[in-house]
Amino acid sequence: MAEHNILGRKGEDMAAEYLQEQGYCILERNWTNKGRKELDIIATKDDVCVFVEVKTRRQGSATTPIEAVDARKQHRICLAADSYLKNYRIDCRCRFDVVCIVYNDEASRIEHVEDAFRARPKYY
């Protein structure tokens, strides 16, 4: 497995553990719809379905984790969330969060950005 994939997996594990400690119930991890659309973590808290994108970067990286969740990535996440909701016939309040992890072997930093972006009707 490539180094960036290993780092990404570590970040997702850290994010899932963090969310559980914060009272979230993890429903799915790495959910895909026929391999085309992926959601890192799907969780619930307070009757809200939360679609969580996890971005992990090494300390000193040129870009921050939140910068990696650009408009195109947000659009893909929204499409995947829509597929998930339709697939399971779920009708509830939803939001999109980003868990940003700056990884350091000795002390990593986690930032949870709730309601980080909104679904848009059309991507341009």
Rounded distance between C-alpha atoms, residue 46 and residue 24, angstroms? 9
Cβ-in-10-Å burial (0-12, 13-18, 19+) of 96 comes to buried
What are the tens digits of pLDDT across the range 6-36? Answer: 888 999 999 999 999 999 999 999 999 876 7
Listed in sequence order, the DSSP H helices in 44-103 are: 71-87
* pTM (predicted TM-score): 0.91
Say if residue 1's pLDDT is above 90.
Answer: no
What are the tens digits of pLDDT across the range 32-79? Answer: 987 678 999 999 999 999 999 999 998 888 888 999 999 999 999 999
Structural domains in the chain?
3-117 (3.40.1350.10)
How much is the pLDDT for 2? 77
